[in-house]
Amino acid sequence: MGAYLMNNYGNRTLSLVKGDGRYVWDSEGRRYLDALTGIAVCGLGHSHPAVSKTIAEQAATLSHVSNYFRIPQQEALAEKLCSESGMEKVFFSNSGAEANEAAIKLTRLYAREKGISKPTVVVMENCFHGRTMATLSATWGAKVRQGFDPLVEKFVHVPFNDVDAVADLASDESVVAVMVEPVQGEAGINIPAADYLQKLRNVCDNNDWLLVFDEIQTGNGRSGEYFAATLAGVKPDILTTAKGLGNGVPIGACLARGIAADLFGPGSHGSTYGGNPLVCAAANTVFDVIKEEQLALRATQLGEKLNAGFSSGLANCHAVKEVRNMGLLMAIEMNRECSELYGQAIEAGLLINIAGGNRIRLLPALNTTDPEADELLDKLCSLVNNWANTAVNE
Ligand code: PLP
């Protein structure tokens, strides 16, 4: 099975063939409650009727034309994203990594304007920004980078949630930007202090550095606001997003304002597919549904419900170190490795993710109903409690 596929995803056993709302089905007809949503992508759940209708209609009308032409769906989506975020201009890509590539290229152009030939971008320990050469060079950790030397130069890592570590670089004249995830997603939902992003904004302002928010995972309603930047009351100079933007169609976006918004000129960047009519039509509908159904608010409510439910359901489980969330970016951190819970959850009809070896990461759909949230709580609490007891008794 999959003999002609490269081995970069390792051994995959489960074959999912259908999705509807918060559930997916495998090829044997077994149903799973999806608390992973394709890694924070299907915020509206699977096969959302309005999104499916838009995709079908747009596919039957015009899927692709290239960026040699005006694309009304792209213009409409850019306007929505800018008015939502306070940013001014948008470049559309096909993925999160490419949105970050665009952001990194903007920091290079900014450096040229400042006469800095070898610019440094400050990034965070435990960050994840993607798997292209520049974004994997920005990303923390050997796992992503191993074997890919020479890396793209001049990303400096400092501890996350440590403003002083960033401010200490003020004497380094090569620094031009600070790039940060408002909540570190792949690392296992690391939530910084409430004033961290504002303090980073201040440091950037004091030093003429661009502030770049990677909202590829936190964006599109998941944090409890459409963008986590709004939640923090901070405007970055560049904001990237992807994942939940298209609910499953491949689209990413790099938003910018001020000087950063005008750094690309004709021919300086591009993408054949980026922001084509098909993906932008879908993303427009996704955006409208998130706004009309107030799904960012729903993410806040559900996050609170789930946090309270896990905190009480796992209160006597000694293996649980912490339950934490921002909206529907949620983690249950264990005091030890818990990878086997992934397979046990599948057995129980539940899709979850284990991040960093010892964190259950949950990224449920924003429109999860209360009964579905209760099912998630019941199934996962009993799994975790059993797992902890069995491991102790072994
Ligand atoms: N940035 C963040 C914060 C992410 O979580 C991810 C993906 O997990 C990426 C960038 C890369 O996005 P993609 O896989 O769409 O290239």
Going along 110-231, which residue ranges are E strands? 120-124, 155-158, 175-180, 210-214
Whole-number Å distance, alpha carbon 288 to ligand 1 midpoint, is 23
Q: What is the pLDDT of residues 325-374, one digit of tens each?
A: 999 999 999 999 999 999 999 999 999 999 999 999 999 999 999 999 99
Q: Is the CB of 361 under 6 A from ligand 1?
A: no
Map out the domains of the chain with their CATH numbers.
16-34+294-393 (3.90.1150.10), 50-292 (3.40.640.10)
The amino acid occupying position 242 is A
What is the best residue among 129, 144, 247 to mutate for testing ligand 1's pocket, by most ligand atoms within 8 Å of CB?
Answer: 129
Going by alpha carbons, the residue nearest to atom 14 of ligand 1 is 96
Q: Please give the helix or strand (H or E) that residue 321 lies within, else none.
A: strand 320-326
- Mean predicted lDDT score pLDDT of the chain: 97
Peptide bond into 371 cis (omega under 30): no
3-state class (DSSP) for residue 367: coil
CA of 315 from ligand 1 middle (Å) equals 33
Say if residue 49 is preceded by a cis peptide, omega within 30 of 0: no
How far apart are the C-alpha atoms of 212 and 210, rounded to whole Å?
Answer: 6
Whether 242 is in the pocket of ligand 1, judged by its Cβ within 6 Å, is yes
CA dihedral 157, 184, 259, 227 (to 10 degrees): -170
The pTM is what?
Answer: 0.97
Note down pLDDT in tens along the chain; length 394 residues.
688 999 999 888 899 999 999 999 999 999 999 999 999 999 999 999 999 999 999 999 999 999 999 999 999 999 999 999 999 999 999 999 999 999 999 999 999 999 999 999 999 999 999 999 999 999 998 889 999 999 999 999 999 999 999 999 999 999 999 999 999 999 999 999 999 999 999 999 999 999 999 999 999 999 999 999 999 999 999 999 999 999 999 999 999 999 999 999 999 999 999 999 999 999 999 999 999 999 999 999 999 999 999 999 999 999 999 999 999 999 999 999 999 999 999 999 999 999 999 999 999 999 999 999 999 999 999 999 999 988 655 5
SS3 at position 247: strand
